Homo-oligomer: A and B are copies of this chain.
């Protein structure tokens, strides 16, 4: 590995400027001063060490209306490729990896099957994936891992991951030791939220809820510009919001949770109970589209349950934007969409109904990109800080 120059010491103001730039890609010095509330002199002092470290570029030749008397404004640009990270989403049967740059552009991707879930085996395989992806890329300087379950991002510990069968696993430390790279670990849904916050719909928002719909109902929350981690490792459990005390039994032991009505298993159980044969939510949606009444009812109930869940988020937190996503959203879940919105509007209290509701499909690469975003966030937040 080629020697990398020592990071300079950055002030908190410089970190703020760097964060702002990584989010937007570029900005004029005037815009930076306006957005951060710093003086032009402070912007100059903040930008200088980052220019010297090769993480930013400066161009004076871009004409802009900001330039007084037609003088071109100085643009500061992120040299996105100067720092790269590997992001990996680990599931029980596959791990999806990407190399991404500072702007979270995906430069390469690789998927490996997972055959052995014992921690040692998984760590070895993550290291193999990272080694493949970093080959010939000396700019790779960090790893981000996204794992379902209860993850302590501060320590990189996986406290409990039911799908992977792990408890109290110091995953970050193990992977850092194997790869020699700083390693960030985050809950997978919160990693997705981090991606949206830095590079997606969450840019510039102070509050955002992201809900993933699939086997389970996941949720990550941004409140006052910060990700909610929960005091005891639990947060965003919109899947266990009560919808109907007489509803189907949930694995949590209660009845009528959102997940017990709108999770994939609940949907398949619902149509099976009506004597229908469907192997996936997609097939249920097909039946519904063809007018099959029980399929329509089951998906309508699922959509309403999700709508009640997100209305609860809106009522408690006043979220600005609520993004509902999942592999099947936008194709299979289109049948649910009107029911989601109808239940949301019914139950959102007063101006909480003004939250923007967005349904969007989720590709597997998005998960790995979210993991990469966490590694970039860590890099940008800690670069040059003692």
What is A's interface to B at a CB cutoff of 8 Å? 150, 206-207, 219, 221, 223-224, 226, 228-238, 240-245, 252-254, 308, 312-320, 346-347, 349-352, 354-355
Contacts and interface: CB of A to CB of B under 8 A. Distances in A.
Contact of A351 (B221, B234, B252): B234
- Among A242, A243, A253, the most chain B Cβ lie within 10 Å of the Cβ of A242
A252 B351 CA distance: 12
A372 to B, nearest CB: 24
A234 B312 contact: no
A226 B228 CA distance: 11
Given A224-B224, A252-B349, A347-B254, A312 B231 contact: no
A347 to B, nearest CB: 6
A242 B312 contact: yes
Contacts of A254: 346-347
Contacts of A228: 223-224, 317-318
A242 B308 contact: yes
B223 A318 contact: no
Contacts of A245: 243-244
B347 A234 contact: no
A310 to B, nearest CB: 11
A219 B252 CA distance: 26
7 contacts: A223-B226, A232-B352, A234-B349, A241-B241, A242-B242, A242-B308, A313-B316
Centre residue among A223, A228, A308 by max chain B CB count within 10 A: A223
Given A243-B245, A346-B254, A355-B231, A236 B316 contact: yes
A246 to B, nearest CB: 8
Nearest to A247: B245
Nearest to A160: B350
Contact of A234 (B223, B241, B244, B315): B315
Contacts of A232: 318, 320, 351-352, 354-355
Contacts of A206: 231
Nearest to A308: B242
A352 B223 CA distance: 18
Contacts of A236: 316
Nearest to A253: B346
Residue in A234, A243, A352 with the greatest tally of chain B CB atoms within 10 Å? A234
Contacts of A349: 234, 237, 240, 252
A303 to B, nearest CB: 15
Contacts of A150: 350-351
A371 to B, nearest CB: 22
Q: Give the interface centre of A207, A235, A243, A320 by most chain B CB atoms within 10 Å.
A: A235
